[in-house]
Amino acid sequence: MDNRTLFPFDNQTLPTWTDHSIEYKIVSILSVLLICGIGIIGNVMVILVVLTTKHMRTPTNCYLVSLAVADLMVLTAAGLPNITESLFGQWVYGYAGCLSITYFQYLGINASSCSITAFTIERYIAICHPIKAQFLCTLSRAKKIIVLVWFFTSLYCVMWFYLSDTKEVDYKNAILMTCAYKVSRNLYLPIYFTDFTVFYVLPLLLATVLYGLIARILFLNPLPTDPKESRRCWRKESSLVNKSVNSRSSSSSTTAASRRQVTKMLVVVVILFAVLWMPYRTLVVVNSFLKEAYLDTWFLLFCRLCIYMNSAINPIIYNAMSQKFRAAFQKLCHCGSQRSEKPPTYSVALTYSVIKETSNGESPDHFTTEQDDVRGAGEELLPGRKRLSFKESSLVSDDTMANA
């Protein structure tokens, strides 16, 4: 994000050029390095965790990987070049660098917005239309949607190859190279407002409506969570039926709580996207209608840092609000224990919980993954035992009844 986006100048002689102060250079370089460094490491960890951990490969996490890749583009293509701009006060990457860096800046920004829209729609279908979700919210479909998102944004951003160019800016005391736009301000404004509407205003309006509908399902009409209520409804049945009902009620409560937590995490991601992009978006809109643009150096730095923070903070949110991501991050960093002393026991209730979660709209691919984890854990607990099929299990049961 540079000055040309905030206010594209036409060819004209500008006032005397003054270099940035030492204080500004120190603050800007250290801030950008810190935020971009944390963001690059965090987003790389998100990608590695989802790609290398079997149970983390869910439709929602696939969209989060897409968002992480987009954030990496923003941090590297928009954040790091600002360090050289602070040091030298001009563009140092040449013509090819101007075209490619501008392209990847807008590609990362637009792809992140589309990724947020994609997982918002996925959550809405999974929670508000659970029957349709069994066919729509699958891992394979999520991958296809991500490919379409990147294909669309890649084609849309091709125009920046034809709109960007290097220009020499004439000051009274210096001539500086800058990466600017070929078109005049009058032609640039419609392009910007189209981009602003499609990739900022509409996604936020859609997210507001859909998360409102999701909240009505999850928080205003929660699933029953009191096992005593289920026992009162079925107290005339046998004790075996009572235990089954209690197990189902408990698994339903666990599923509802898990979905609330995931939804809260995604809502926080959307809210931070709206808040942290607002200073920059507002400044560009205001400057579009002013005769003399407001280009205070420190305020521009603040707007840029907000954008970089938006791309860097998402992995921190995942770690703080998702137990699965936190455990996967710890495993990736070798911070957690390698193996617990007491292996977890897997019961029928856990298996039912997985089936129940799938029937409420989770991906069948995710269900298969969870079954593999349970099966793998059983093999670790009983390495010398032969796993029986359903047919073999039935024969063993018949033999037992005969012997009795």
297-306, 357-366, 369-378, range with greatest mean pLDDT? 297-306
Taking the C-alpha atoms of residue 361 and residue 337, their distance in angstroms, rounded to an integer, is 33
pLDDT of 377 strictly over 70: no
Q: What is the CA radius of gyration of the chain?
A: 27
Q: Decide which of 240 and 330 is more confident.
A: 330
- Average pLDDT for 14-22: 76
Instruction: Give the model confidence (pLDDT) of 104-132 as tens digits.
Output: 999 999 999 999 999 999 999 999 998 99
User: Tell me, what's the pLDDT at 1?
Assistant: 60
Given a contact cutoff of 8 angstroms between Cβ atoms, the answer to whether 42 and 69 are in contact is: no
Taken in order 369, 149, 276, 68, the sign of the CA dihedral is positive
Q: Which of 27, 19, 18 lies closest to 302 in space, CA to CA?
A: 27
Taking the C-alpha atoms of residue 132 and residue 35, their distance in angstroms, rounded to an integer, is 41
| Exposure of 270 in the CB half-sphere (CA atoms within 13 A) | 28
Taking the C-alpha atoms of residue 311 and residue 272, their distance in angstroms, rounded to an integer, is 10
pLDDT of 10 strictly over 80: no
- Average pLDDT for 66-81: 94
Beta bridge partners of 169: 176
Instruction: Give the model confidence (pLDDT) of 243-263 as tens digits.
Output: 444 444 455 556 667 778 888
Q: Which of 297, 269, 327 lies closest to 113 in space, CA to CA?
A: 269
User: Tell me, what's the pLDDT at 364?
Assistant: 42
C-alpha angle with apex 389: 388 to 393, nearest 5 degrees?
Answer: 70
What percent of the chain lies above the pLDDT cut of 90? Answer: 46
Average pLDDT, the chain: 77
Q: How confident is the model at residue 185 (pLDDT cuts 50, 70, 90)?
A: confident
In this structure, of 95-99, 223-227, 261-265, the range with the lowest mean pLDDT score is 223-227
Taking the C-alpha atoms of residue 289 and residue 90, their distance in angstroms, rounded to an integer, is 26
Q: How confident is the model at residue 15 (pLDDT cuts 50, 70, 90)?
A: low
Task: For residue 330, give every residue at least 6 positions away whose Cβ sits within 8 Å of its Cβ, in sequence order, or none.
Answer: 336
- Average pLDDT for 225-248: 46
pLDDT of 236 strictly over 50: no
Q: Decide which of 280 and 252 is more confident.
A: 280
DSSP 17: -
User: Tell me, what's the pLDDT at 253?
Assistant: 59
pLDDT of 70 strictly over 80: yes
User: Tell me, what's the pLDDT at 348?
Assistant: 39
List the end-to-end C-alpha distance of the chain, in Å, as a whole number. 79
Q: How confident is the model at residue 61 (pLDDT cuts 50, 70, 90)?
A: very high
Given a contact cutoff of 8 angstroms between Cβ atoms, the answer to whether 90 and 46 are in contact is: no
Cα→Cα distances 173→19, 160, 225, 293, Å: 11, 31, 73, 21
Taking the C-alpha atoms of residue 132 and residue 123, their distance in angstroms, rounded to an integer, is 12
| Residue 124, amino acid | Y
Instruction: Give the model confidence (pLDDT) of 44-58 as tens digits.
Output: 999 999 999 888 999
Taken in order 35, 40, 43, 48, the sign of the CA dihedral is negative
Taking the C-alpha atoms of residue 62 and residue 119, their distance in angstroms, rounded to an integer, is 9
In this structure, of 16-20, 119-123, 189-193, 309-313, the range with the lowest mean pLDDT score is 16-20
Q: How confident is the model at residue 226 (pLDDT cuts 50, 70, 90)?
A: very low
Domains along the sequence of the chain with CATH: 3-332 (1.20.1070.10)
Q: Judge residue 249's burial from the number of C-beta atoms within 10 Å of its C-beta, 0-12 exposed, 13-18 middle, 19 or more buried.
A: buried
Please give the full DSSP string across 31-65, using - where no structure is assigned: HHHHHHHHHHHHHHHHHHHHHH-GGG--HHHHHHH
Taking the C-alpha atoms of residue 114 and residue 111, their distance in angstroms, rounded to an integer, is 5
Instruction: Give the model confidence (pLDDT) of 135-178 as tens digits.
Output: 999 999 999 999 999 999 999 999 999 999 998 888 777 788 88
Instruction: Give the model confidence (pLDDT) of 30-44 as tens digits.
Output: 999 999 999 999 999
pLDDT of 361 strictly over 60: no
pLDDT of 380 strictly over 50: no
Q: How confident is the model at residue 8 (pLDDT cuts 50, 70, 90)?
A: very low
